[in-house]
Amino acid sequence: MRFVIHRFSVAAVALAAALVPRLAAAETYRLQLLQNPSGASDAVTSTLDQQGVVTGRAWTGTRWVPVLWTQGVPQVLPLPDGHTVDTVRRSEQNGYTVSAQGDRGFSMVWRPDGSSVQLSSWNGGDENCACQGFDVDPQGRVMGRIPKDGLEQAAVWTDPTLPPTLLPTDVAVAESAVYRTSANGWMSGWRQWPETGGIKMLVWKDGLLVPTPELDALGYPSINAINANGTAVGGYLDPSRGSLAMLWKPGQVLPLPALAHTVCTATALNNLDVAVGNCTGIGVIWRNGQVTSLTKLLDTKARAAGWMISYPTAINDSGAIVVQAQSRNDPQNRVFQAVLKPTAARASRP
């Protein structure tokens, strides 16, 4: 059996894990490694839906292909010859999947019935849209960007076979994109500052722009995920403390605590507002206002095998988390893609 692996330094991950203090008894997780698709040598994971299906992409030696993992077993999605994928994401419910290829402006959508279609251009039909679909919601609406009037602009496809609708921004002329979405009409993205070329975070609800002055006041803010409650997570740069993780709600920014001697960013959250992310390479979870190393929450079997957890990319409402895992006992220094599954249900908020 082959598994999804990356190569990183065991010593670096072990050093990071050693910074984490011992914690009181808490919920534990069992570790499930993701199998590598046949012929693939590498993979990257991105999303985890409410049914536990993991989405990502795998390297075949000539191109990246979209992959779904169910109970750790991979299924490669059909992709036209000559194309690759740079991003792949799946809706949290109902089984819609979208991919984007940046250099070719090519995006595919896979429907729950297994059929697939190229994302539509302004003219409709099968011509290359020169667009990118970055995310898809449970209704099958695709979020991304498409060229219009000489600029890449944030757009929504309510039907992948029909031309998209542009989303409003707060300036008349700027490059923009929407790249994260969830249920209930929440979306997040960005636009460039025309004056400096810097990036400003944007949030929309039901297609309307949500004012975010509290984000504008931060240094280099980023939003990495948004949920059905309109809560988002990401990070920002503090002049004195470095990179800090944050949780955003309309009108307020809540800094998230860091592990000792680390800098952090939050990468994902579920609809219970439980967030996961990284603190200097250590995979962490934020819950009930506390930050905890995921390595410290592994069950007895996983700890005995020397597993260390880093770089979570997704968490669903059941508490399952997509991560990278590496064993201190592995002489080949391999990093595996994996899922952490909670040993007991927990529904508390951070």
Q: Is residue 156 part of a domain?
A: yes
Q: Is residue 139 part of a domain?
A: yes
CATH number at residue 21: 2.130.10.150
What pLDDT score does 157 carry? 97
Interval 3-36: pLDDT, tens: 444 433 334 334 333 333 333 345 899 999 999 9
Q: Is residue 148 part of a domain?
A: yes
Q: Is residue 299 part of a domain?
A: yes
Interval 158-172: pLDDT, tens: 999 999 999 999 887
Decide if 284 contacts 277 (C-beta within 8 A): yes
Q: Is residue 260 part of a domain?
A: yes
Q: 133 vs 1, 157, 193, 243, CA distance in Å?
A: 33, 9, 22, 29
Q: Is residue 96 part of a domain?
A: yes
- Across 15-19, 140-144, 233-237, 331-335, least confident range: 15-19
Q: Using CA atoms, how far apart are residues 131 and 201, in angstroms rounded to an integer?
A: 20
What pLDDT score does 194 carry? 66
Q: Is residue 350 part of a domain?
A: no
Q: Structural domain tally of the chain? A: 1
Decide if 176 contacts 189 (C-beta within 8 A): yes
- Domain extent, residue 166, equals 5-342
Residue of 232 and 240 predicted with greater confidence: 232
pLDDT above 90: residue 155: yes
pTM value is 0.89
